[in-house]
Amino acid sequence: MKFIISLLLIALLSFVACLYLPWWSIAIVAFIVAVLIPQSAGLSFLAGFLSLFLLWGSLSFWISNTNLHILAHKVSLLILKIDNPFLLMLATAIIGGIVAGFASLTASFLRKKKIASPVY
Amino acid sequence: MRIIPFSISAIVSIGLIIIFNTNLILPAPLGKLLSPQHGIWQNAEKTNEDFTANLSFPQLAGKVNVYFDERLVPHVFAEQENDAYFVQGYLHARFRLWQMELQTLSAAGRASEVVGDVALNHDREFRRLGMVYAAENSLKEVEKDPIIKAECDAYTAGVNTYIENLTESQLPIEYKLIGYKPEKWSNLKTALFLKYMSWDLAAHEDDFEMTNAKSFFSREDFEKLYPAVQDSVDPIIPKGTVYPKAKIDIKVAPSVDSLYFNQEPIPIKEQKPDKDNGSNNWAVSGKKTQSGYPILANDPHLGLNLPSLWYEIQISTPGFNAYGVSFPGSPGVIIGFNDSCAFGFTNAGRDVRDYYEIKFKDESRKEYWFENEWKKTDFRFEKIKIKGKPDFMDTVAYTVFGPVMFDKNFDGNKTTNHKNYAVRWKAHDPSNELKIFNMLNHAKNYADYSAAVVNLHTPGQNCVFASKSGDIALRTQGEFPAKWKGQGDFVMPGTDSSYMWQAMIAMDETPFQYNPERNFVSSANQLPADVTYPYYLGSGYTPYRGIIVNRRLNAMNNITVEDMKQLQTDNFNMFAEMALPVFLKNMKVEELNADEKKYFNILQTWNFRNDVDSKGASVFFLMWKHFEDTVWNDEFEKAPKVIKKPFESTLLEAVLKDSSFKFLDDINTNQKETLADEATAAFRKAVIELKDAEAKGKLEWGKYKDTKVQHLAKLEPFSRLHLPIGGGTHCINAAKTNHGPSWRMIVSLTPQTEAYGVYPGGQSGNPGSKYYDNFIDTWSAGKYYLIWVMNKAEEKDKRVIGKMIFSKN
């Protein structure tokens, strides 16, 4: 449950933050959420990573889809040297994910004790 | 807190942000670029975007409604004229901001700020040519003219209003990719843009090249290689026109023979505008058309780029209702029509840029010798900012002639002879070019047109005109120096005034035609008038397109718009029609092998048309190229490097007239080569390249020529390559590899105007917009769009896709 809440909260707050702040505000959001909702290091990373992976992946897909991928074809060729809009979306999602993931991970080490992974 | 893992993880996080926010490690700041809410994804415009907006700005005096049609052409309806220019500035910025700024930065010699020191030589050359000095002089003229000043102020305010309200995510994609931000617009930038056009159209000369040729060849050879007038010329103003005696009595410098016509070689190479910048325009009177009303056609040939140089627009104000193409960077309609008349331009191509050798007293360059005394130099300090590097300081000396462009500090990046050359360029003189477009937009008749075009000083243009009242006219307009024969063809001595331009040709002495008997006027960059014109016109005019345009127009009657479309996109190669017989007659066919015979057969059956699938056009092109090399290379291999080969017309006319033309002989062999030897040798060399082209599947002319429309930053994915289009040099459809008809327009001046137009680009400068390059296929196919001159009552028409309303509050 904590995991799902962190994931959703990071995604939502990142979206709001990026309306006003630079792109790296996603790291601050992921950090703060991970402080407020403590989880094990592994789950913290995963919550941050997945949250931004899904947010940036779906946002870029949604925007590109309304554009019939006109721009993504060109920019993927320009940046990745391959004409593949979906690869550009994947790169976007991974960059968002990895930055938020490490920010969450950092926050998880703030606590003194190791939190045991929940047992299902 | 677990210090060690925390620290490591924190460092990794911060490191990732730095990596993805800068280009310290990755070639681009990928986080910033790919963030869906900030970066490039924001430039992916919805394909059903309708651009509708309600905007209010305190600078406006009244209301302006803008309706976008399905091609994204804005139809601007303004209650106040100056509000229309404000909105035009806003729209140019909204759709074309990056190119506007890049072109003006480049014009100002500031490209290094954006791209780094690769542009330093360009920047130094432009500053030393005095581009900013020229723009400042023309801005002073604008400021004296309250109407044009208000027009420019409104335009600038419109551009700046857009820039001020621009968020990071809305930045054009090129700013994001290169990593910089737009600065504010100003009237000076508009002036700079117009000077950029002057550079493109009126800065071509070959003074250093010709000085070298003159010093290398004997006088007799020189005159054979560089004759002033072509035999085949069919001038813009027809032969036989009677001109009054020149008003200006030009005094030839007394020292011409000793000091001028004999000089040593000069090793300077400059940055040159494309020599083929040219165009076609014509107007036919109602006596030759089916409708009984005039038709005007114009297609300016310029570099083909994306975003396009042109932006289509309709501007409707209480004073006029004009439609046509505008320059992002400048107010008004440049080529187009209004409810009464139509207007267009081709380049006049006169030589208005000359060089003078300056003698400084000493290294300090503070004084120079002029009219038997030491005169004080003015200095202009040019601070060039360079991306990622310290500023570069350049000090440019100004003399009575103009700025000293080349000296020991700057030699155009070539070896130098350490001499000093000042440049005299007509574009330095004060003038107010925007006035002609303002007046043409308002023009109602021939008198208004005549009053408008005399304001055009530089770049000189052949201005064509047609009106609904039935008039047609063409003026070879510009303020041109009255030169003695040969003046300014070479670098001139600068120690006294005897070589200076003495006066400008009076405006009423420019060649023109008004409702001529032949019932049409035309220009295609050929010589403006024949030798009876009382002023020296220089050389280097291309004769061939003019010949075919006039031949066709002479033969046509009952002309329809459809006929004009066919003529404007005609691929007939006039030069080939005149040159091919020389080869067919002189080729030593019996000596050709089977392969060579195959290509010779293609040549024999070729119809002189550079159509997209023509193989003959490729064979002819390569054969002529090798023929020129075969004839000239032996004589030119020992010549100075900075030199100019003779024109195609010179070689062709020489061999047509004289099959034993002196230069046909290869001076490196003992035997005497004939025209047949040279033609056959050239053809054989061509066949080697032809076989290679055929093996690659590129023998057809369209594929061989490979026309493209390149992005201004040369980013390939933002360019359109391998376009299937015929034509080329010497065809009316002058589509070359990256140069050609940049706007094709045909206007039938019937009571209800019927007009067509197309340019190789699209209305949006955003590579992420479907309107970025959507006209290109239509253009390649030689098709046109029917122009919609919207009436405000048609607001509900289904062609309107969106509406922007601008109001004061």
What's chain B's average pLDDT?
A: 94
Contact (CB, 8 A) for B795 and B45: no
> Chain A residues within 8 A (CB-CB) of chain B?
15, 18-19, 22-24, 27, 31, 41, 56, 59-60, 63-64, 66-75, 77-79, 88, 91-92, 95-96, 98-99, 102-103, 105-106, 109-112
Q: Alpha-carbon distance B385 to B388, whole Å?
A: 9
Query: Hey, what are B340's tokens?
Result: 């009464």
Cα–Cα distance, A84 to B44 (Å, whole number):
15
Q: Cβ contacts (< 8 Å) between A98 and chain B: which residues?
A: 16
HEC string of B11-38 equals: HHHHHHHHHHHCCCCCCCCHHHHHCCCC
Instruction: Tell me which of A64-68, A100-104, B91-95, B655-659 is least confident.
Output: B655-659
Measured CA to CA, the distance from residue B711 to residue B35 in angstroms comes to 24
User: Residue A119 pLDDT more than 70?
Assistant: no
CB proximity B169 to A under 8 Å: no
* pTM of the predicted model as reported, rounded to 2 decimal places: 0.95
Question: Which residue of B9, B37, B767 is in closest CB contact with A105?
Answer: B9
Beta bridge partners of B395: B381
Which tokens in the block code for residue B157? 């305010």
Question: What is the spatial distance between Cα B740 and Cα B758, in angstroms, rounded to a whole number?
Answer: 13
* Residue in A with minimal Cα distance to B37: A18
Q: What is the pLDDT of residue B257?
A: 80
Q: Do B44 and A63 touch (CB under 8 A)?
A: yes
Q: A116 to each of A102, A113, B803, how far by Cα in Å?
A: 19, 9, 60
What are the two backbone dihedrals, phi and then psi, of residue B373, each rounded to the nearest 5 degrees?
-155, 165
Neighboring chain A residues of B34 at a CB cutoff of 8 Å: 56, 60, 88, 91-92, 95-96
Q: Specify the pLDDT at position B255.
A: 85
Task: Please report the pLDDT score of residue B229 as a whole number.
Answer: 74
Q: What are phi and psi of A113, to 5 degrees?
A: -95, 150
User: Which residue in B4, B8, B11, B16 has the most chain A C-beta atoms within 10 A of its own C-beta, making it the best mutation to test that interface?
Assistant: B16
Residues of chain B with pLDDT below 50 are none
Residue B391, number of CB atoms within 10 A of its CB: 10
pLDDT of residue A116: 56
Structure tokens at B539: 């050389």
Q: Report strand pairing: B461-467 vs B367-370.
A: unpaired
Band of pLDDT at residue A112, cut at 50, 70 and 90: low
What residues contact residue A79 under an 8 Å CB cut-off, 6+ apart? A88, A91, B28, B30, B33
**pLDDT score, position B603:** 96
**B1 vs A23, A69, A110: nearest CB:** A110
**What sign has the CA pseudo-torsion B789, B795, B799, B802?**
positive
Reference B772, options B311, B327, B335; nearest CA is: B311
What is the ipTM score, two decimals?
A: 0.94
Contact map slice: B 2-21 vs A, CB within 8 A = 2, 5-6, 9-10, 12-13, 16-17, 20-21
The residue count for chain B: 809
Give pLDDT, residue B264: 75
Residue B713 in contact with partner chain A when CB distance is under 8 A: no
What was the pLDDT predicted at B415?
Answer: 55
Residue B767: which of A74, A88, A99 has the nearest Cβ?
A74
pLDDT (tens digit per residue) in A6-28: 999 999 999 999 999 999 999 99
pLDDT of B416 reads: 60
Establish if B96 touches chain A: CB-CB under 8 angstroms: no
Number of Cβ pairs < 8 A linking chain A and chain B: 126
Residues facing residue B410 across a β-bridge: B407
SS3 B233: coil
**B43 and chain A in contact, CB less than 8 A:** yes
Interface test with A, best of B3, B17, B764 (most A CBs within 10 A): B17
pLDDT in tens, B73-110: 999 999 999 999 999 999 999 999 999 999 999 999 99
Contact A14, A33 (CB under 8 A): no
Question: What's the half-sphere exposure (Cβ side, CA atoms, 13 Å) at B113?
Answer: 18
B377: DSSP letter: P
pLDDT for res A117: 55
B177 touches A: beta carbon within 8 Å: yes
Which residues in chain A are closer than 8 Å to B30, comparing Cβ atoms?
Answer: 79, 91, 95
